Structure 1
Amino acid sequence: MSNAPSSPTGPVNRLAETTSPYLRQHAHNPVDWWPWCEEALALARETDRPILLSIGYSACHWCHVMAHESFEDPGTAELMNRLFVNIKVDREERPDLDKIYQTAHQLLAQRPGGWPLTVFLMPDDQKPFFAGTYFPREPRHGLPAFKQLMQGVERAYREQKTAIESQNESLMAALAELEPHASDALPERSAIDAALQQLDTSFDPEHGGFGDAPKFPHPTNLDLLLRHATDAPQTGAPDRSALAKAVWTLERMVRGGLTDQLGGGFYRYSVDALWMIPHFEKMLYDNGPLLALCCDAFAVTEDPVFRDAAVMTADWVLREMQSPEGGYWSSLDADSEGEEGKFYVWDREEIRALLAPAEYAPFAAVYRLDRPANCEGRWHLHGYRTPEAVAVDLGLEPARVQALLAAARATLYVARERRVRPGRDEKVLTAWNALMIKGLARAARTFDRPDYLESAEQALAFIRGTLWREGRLLATYKDGTAHLNAYLDDYANLLDALLELLQTRWSRADLDFALALAEVLLDQFEDPIGGGFWFTGRDHETLIHRTKPLGDEAIPSGNGVAALALERLGHLVGEPRYLAAAERTLKLAAESIRRMPYAHATLLFALDEWLDPPETLVIRAGDERLDAWRREAQRGYRPRRFVLGIPADESHLPGTLAAMAPGERPRIYRCSGTRCEPPTESLADVVKPTS
């Protein structure tokens, strides 16, 4: 299913032997590509040739463009092979390299990076001395031709080594200066208010979202608004403004072009401010958090638009993204047949011919097929109007309009399935799987869907059976090969996913696995002196820089997720080491949070729960009331309540759970942080009605 930009015939290079679908896309290039490995680095040193490092990923549109224009061109390849040692990296398999060289690009180029990332490295120590992103075959848009660039860079390496070495010293000092430094104090609670104020300032009241185009979904920021809006323990009243911002933004994303209106799932981002035309790739790491967010929005509002979006997203994952072995695949490409979005867009007359007149009328009204085409002469489905408003105009009952729209979408979906499908990146990444396991566990609990729980459990079983070896995680799997030491994001997100699954159903094996992951986090990743967690483990390959990333990026901050999960697990089992590690992480992040609060939403969740620990309910029962009470305790949106239902016959529990013994009748233990109340045998004593 992978989209292969290069010819499938002819000789192959070393990338054919890798596990990455992205690297394999370049296996037939005339470029003498290497994967990142010690042999390639040694060759650069021995031949005194700079390294041309190219980083991308399989669903990346401009990566494909540069491959077609340059890497498949024999003349360009000849120049690359003669002047450089050429290394191709999949940023999804090697986020450690990507984080380092993206940051270096920002420092060298003084502008944000992206993919494809093109970096030229010194052959002796892999320090970067020139960086850019996409370069065209011919000069255009103010960019030099790639051939001209390479010749200029190689000449500079030969003639200006002293200046480059001086620049490298400054670059390494700048990289070190960017790393956070520990504070003696925790961040103030006011940092949460500051983040909310920043979001308020940049909020788009007309279309939802923050800032102008392009617009990214940023589920952690919406989660921050939703938590604050419904909880607000310090203010004593819900923040209706924050709730409105979160719900309106998510609704515009769900009804608009950011969502696949026929097949489910969210695209990567919107190129416009209206959430209309997306960058069409679908990434697993977006859809896991957005699935959980839709579940939460439904729990708060009971608006079926969020239920339907969650169900369509979950169904898409089960149908298209879960491998027969159980793990979830990584992404669907933006392109098919060499054209971005071709699989998803429509001709109006094609839609008219496929639908019955009774179906076409409301469908055309909702998606405004009477307007000019919105996507280069064709129509990408974007909900301009609500079904309820269209029902009024057509004089139909809303339920009738919904039924006609559902029938129309089903017909168009079947027709679309006959098209050439986008490529699928069929590698399994541990961190991304964890995000989807969490999302599906939340959906299983919210909508009482055992099939979603079964899917999440299958993915977890795959990780445990394939990517957990000798007490350590591996980062990636493809075609029978699991390899690469896992990163902070893998451990933190999997720990977080296990805690979510434990709230959906009890599993002693999952609790033990969570404790094992927590121990590796402390042993391999934590800095017990400076605080926080390194992105790579202690025994990881030595690179030019070792990072402690704090801000949320495309996925939640590994430091934030680790701190939050360790707080919850530490309170659950009474383990002070976990709590101390979380506290040190928050102190490390204090200055970074102060400078840019809204960029650290996940760490702000951890700060909030550190300052005001959430409620933990442990239910012990030996009959059907165990699940019934657990469900009742979880009813509604309860982000500050952690509920565990443990069967009465489960014994030898770890830590403070061992003291929470069952009784002759169902029993509930209620704790807040390190303080626990006497057990009660009345559910009403601890569960108040949803407000």
Structure 2
Amino acid sequence: MASSSRTEKTSTESRFTGEARNRLAQERSPYLLQHATNPVDWYPWGEEAFQKARSEDKLIFLSIGYSTCHWCHVMERESFENKNIASIMNEYFVNVKVDREERPDVDRIYMTFVQAVSGSGGWPMSVFLTPDLKPVAGGTYFPPEDNYGRPGFKSVLLNTAKQWMEQRQKLSATGTKITELLRQTTVFDVGVANQLLAGTTPPGQEVWELCFSQVLDNYEPEFGGFSQAPKFPQGAVLSFLTHLASRERPQSEMGTEARQMLLHTLDKMAAGGINDHIFQGFARYSTDREWHVPHFEKMLYDQAQLSVVYTNAYLLTHNEKYAKTARGILEYVMRDLSHPDGGFYSAEDADSYPTKNSVEKREGAFCVWTHEEVATLIGDRKLEANPKKLLVDLFCAYYTVRPEGNVPPEKDHHREFRNQNVLAVFRPAAKICKEFGLKDEATLDNELAVARKILYDRRLDRPRPHLDNKIITSWNGMMISGFAKAGSALGDDDFTRRAIDAANFVRRYLLLESGKLLRSCYTDLPAGAGIVQIESPIEGFLDDYVCLVRGLLDLYECTLNSDWIEWAERLQMKQDELFWDHGHAGYFSTISGDTNTLFRLKEDHDGAEPCGNSIAAGNLLRLGTILDSVDMMDKAKKLLTSFSGRLTRVPLALPEMTSALMLYNNAPTQVVVTGDPSDSETMALVNIARRSLLVPGLILMVTSGNPDSFLCRRNQSVRKMKKPEGNYQAAFVCRGRTCSLPVTTPADLAALLKL
């Protein structure tokens, strides 16, 4: 399908038309540029702002968000564009804006504070800091005026300024105390970590059994998912259930229940409005438990995680509907989130202009439909399979399109969805087929495809949402995994090539000569395709290394090109050098020596993205197995042990790490194929292994039929595996330190893997 053009009235361009700009106008982050013409005297995070706060003895007001965040836009319109509120901010505070995607280190420190003092977090995040960066008060979104029992932003500003003027010492002491408490929360299981040399080992089966129990307690059985409302996809939880379902199949009740929760959730998500049925791709989250009305921003990291989960669901079930959803996600990313040189953009906004002549954006305007518009576009076309019925009636029945709109008033806080419909499927396809005289679901989908194409073409004429064209290393690593896994599982060479292009993009633009990674790079503004080199780029964080290493491991299994393994090893070594905690094991999220952050965090929570330590644990086990590295396996053991307190108490906080713990305790299953990938017999064995990639921890290696190949040189066990008599290609299946006799046929390999 053709790509839809983006409106010229982007959030950056429309504001730079003779208006005064603050210091953010010199930044590259799309989020910071959105605020460059606010009357607020914004500063970027950095020494200039901190020095001003110290010299003028003012509190810092820190606002953190991201460019596609709906409520960030709301607070900007209500407060940051309000000259009265801006004057209060400018008089009493030094105001600092941070893009959470650009500076996750800053975001995590102060999000920890906000969650501790308020019991919840989110964006926009609003925090008041002393001049030495210690937090004293904060929250998330504030309305401009006092309302519904909540203090308005103006009141919060004035009250906080008064406290600073009248009780400065007390407020400073409070900030120091809070900072010390926050610092202590980053040092966990020290006693256990100090016992590592005494033979302490990671916990075992009780952890994943407890994690499963905690997932089950949070499971919402009617529409799936793991909360009531709002509902988030929770990719790490879905991945854990996938691992558990494949590990336990079909022998245990736990495996059966894990499979049911996983597939029911995926089915309901794919049917809901959180899935864009016309343009594909998933929105960030749903405001209701039915997955119906989302906040419409689309984040790259969600597309990456969900493409992997749906691909794995296909491998688990061999049901084509999961492959279809995975393809839809990847086609959306290829079309709308892709740089011409191979990288992936960060996100699309929730808000957009309803028409080309509109002056004010609305949430979801690009995605919603009136019944009248649908009826006019589809017209009086009859069904091909049943000319007695109209296509528009079928479409409206299937996607719940109603004349009065299908968004409940309580979900329309700003009255933006009156008479509008968010396409979602709530009726079984079989009932729709019976009602419209269609023989099967394939016929139904063929009819609906005609209508979807009509609406797709109409959306091409709508103003597009703002694109955050920042290219983030960690999210690109995650997306490489998505394309590589789909390329292998679905046999799609386009997906494989897309993963390769993205890896080469990262190597070209985001890798320094020192072997270090950058956090992000930027395109020409406002919407050009070229990459801009900036003088002081932000260096990569732990997330950037672990996500790229995992992407390269997945890319190796997809392409069988050992160059990706070699690069993954170099990155792993650099990661160990920069982030490993030599005192208590595990990885810090940031490098040492940054004077503009309060302390180094060591994350212990899998949120919208799995935390760096969770991914690192799995990487160490996979790469350590491939390279037969005792050091990597030992690091994996120490990392898992250092998190044992968290894992044994609340494993639901670390489902990705719990999956790595299962892998550690049960040892990866290795399939080693001796032969050249260009040979059809070799690839016949490889393809059997790829079909079974859901065997927990299965690692695929191919020796290329060469004793001097990279894998043979680095792994002595692999080097000893030779073809049997007759020079057939052969496959060995190894579990732990025990390997099977070689097999030479796909049927025999499938039997060994119990497919």
Query: Smaller-chain TM-score range?
Result: over 0.9
1:157 maps onto 2:157 in alignment = no
- Cα offsets for 1:355-386 (capped at 9, x unmatched): 12432232122112258522232110000123
TM-score by length of 2: 0.88
Residue among 177, 184, 187 paired with 1:170: 177
Letter in 1 for 2:661: L
Residue among 590, 607, 612 paired with 1:553: 607
The answer on whether the counterparts of 2:626 and 2:701 sit within 8 Å (CA) in structure 1 is no
Residue among 391, 399, 414 paired with 1:367: 399
Residue among 139, 153, 159 paired with 1:132: 139
Report how far residue 565 of structure 1 moved. 0.7
Report how far residue 63 of structure 1 moved. 0.9
Report how far residue 464 of structure 1 moved. 0.6
The answer on whether the counterparts of 1:3 and 1:422 sit within 8 Å (CA) in structure 2 is no
**Structure 2: where are the runs of 5+ without partners?**
1-5, 193-199, 354-360, 384-390, 408-416, 524-531
Report how far residue 169 of structure 1 moved. 3.0
Report how far residue 131 of structure 1 moved. 0.8
- Which residue of 1 is the match for residue 214 of structure 2? 198
Report how far residue 160 of structure 1 moved. 1.0
The answer on whether the counterparts of 1:19 and 1:481 sit within 8 Å (CA) in structure 2 is no
Report how far residue 297 of structure 1 moved. 1.1
The answer on whether the counterparts of 1:334 and 1:341 sit within 8 Å (CA) in structure 2 is yes
Q: Distance in 2 between the 1:233 and 1:316 partners?
A: 33
1:426 maps onto 2:478 in alignment = no
1:415 maps onto 2:423 in alignment = no
- Cα offsets for 1:106-145 (capped at 9, x unmatched): 23x332121111111111x100111121222222133333
Residue among 231, 246, 255 paired with 1:230: 246
- Which residue of 2 is the match for residue 481 of structure 1? 533
State the Cα RMSD in Å.
Answer: 2.1
Secondary structure of the 1:43 match is helix
Alignment length (residue pairs): 689
Larger displacement relative to structure 2 (343-352 or 542-551)? 542-551
- Which residue of 1 is the match for residue 427 of structure 2? 385
The answer on whether the counterparts of 1:3 and 1:333 sit within 8 Å (CA) in structure 2 is no
The 5 A counterparts of 1:87-486 are 87-107=96-116, 109-123=117-131, 125-179=132-186, 180-182=188-190, 183=192, 184-232=200-248, 239-337=255-353, 338-355=361-378, 356-358=381-383, 359-370=391-402, 373-375=405-407, 376=417, 377-398=419-440, 399-469=442-512, 470-479=514-523, 480-481=532-533, 483-486=537-540
Larger displacement relative to structure 2 (476-485 or 97-106)? 476-485
99 and 5 in structure 1: CA distance in 2 versus 1, 3 angstrom threshold: farther
Q: Distance in 2 between the 1:14 and 1:394 partners?
A: 60
Letter in 2 for 1:296: N
- Cα offsets for 1:616-665 (capped at 9, x unmatched): 11212132323222112221443431112342246244521672566444
Letter in 1 for 2:651: P
Q: Distance in 1 between the 2:241 and 2:427 partners?
A: 25
Q: Distance in 1 between the 2:55 and 2:259 partners?
A: 60
Letter in 2 for 1:405: L
89 and 6 in structure 1: CA distance in 2 versus 1, 3 angstrom threshold: farther
Secondary structure of the 2:38 match is coil
1:648 maps onto 2:705 in alignment = yes
25 and 602 in structure 1: CA distance in 2 versus 1, 3 angstrom threshold: same
TM-score by length of 1: 0.96
Q: Distance in 1 between the 2:11 and 2:735 partners?
A: 51
The 5 A counterparts of 1:20-59 are 20-59=29-68
Letter in 2 for 1:471: G
Report how far residue 449 of structure 1 moved. 1.0
Q: Distance in 2 between the 1:142 and 1:336 partners?
A: 31
The answer on whether the counterparts of 1:633 and 1:643 sit within 8 Å (CA) in structure 2 is yes
1:595 maps onto 2:649 in alignment = yes
The 5 A counterparts of 1:636-675 are 636=692, 637-649=694-706, 651-653=709-711, 654-656=713-715, 659-660=719-720, 663=723, 664-675=727-738
Q: How high is the sequence identity, in percent, across the aligned residues?
A: 34
Q: Distance in 2 between the 1:574 and 1:448 partners?
A: 29
166 and 540 in structure 1: CA distance in 2 versus 1, 3 angstrom threshold: closer
Q: Distance in 2 between the 1:383 and 1:541 partners?
A: 52
- Which residue of 2 is the match for residue 624 of structure 1? 680
Secondary structure of the 2:137 match is strand
Report how far residue 6 of structure 1 moved. 7.6
Report how far residue 681 of structure 1 moved. 4.6
Q: Distance in 2 between the 1:210 and 1:238 partners?
A: 17
The answer on whether the counterparts of 1:5 and 1:25 sit within 8 Å (CA) in structure 2 is no
- Which residue of 2 is the match for residue 573 of structure 1? 627
Q: Distance in 1 between the 2:228 and 2:578 partners?
A: 40
1:62 maps onto 2:125 in alignment = no
Secondary structure of the 2:584 match is coil
- Which residue of 1 is the match for residue 358 of structure 2? none
Q: Distance in 2 between the 1:74 and 1:273 partners?
A: 38
Letter in 2 for 1:632: I
Secondary structure of the 1:647 match is coil
- Cα offsets for 1:64-114 (capped at 9, x unmatched): 11111222222222222222211100000100000000111123x332121
**Structure 1: where are the runs of 5+ without partners?**
none
Report how far residue 530 of structure 1 moved. 0.6
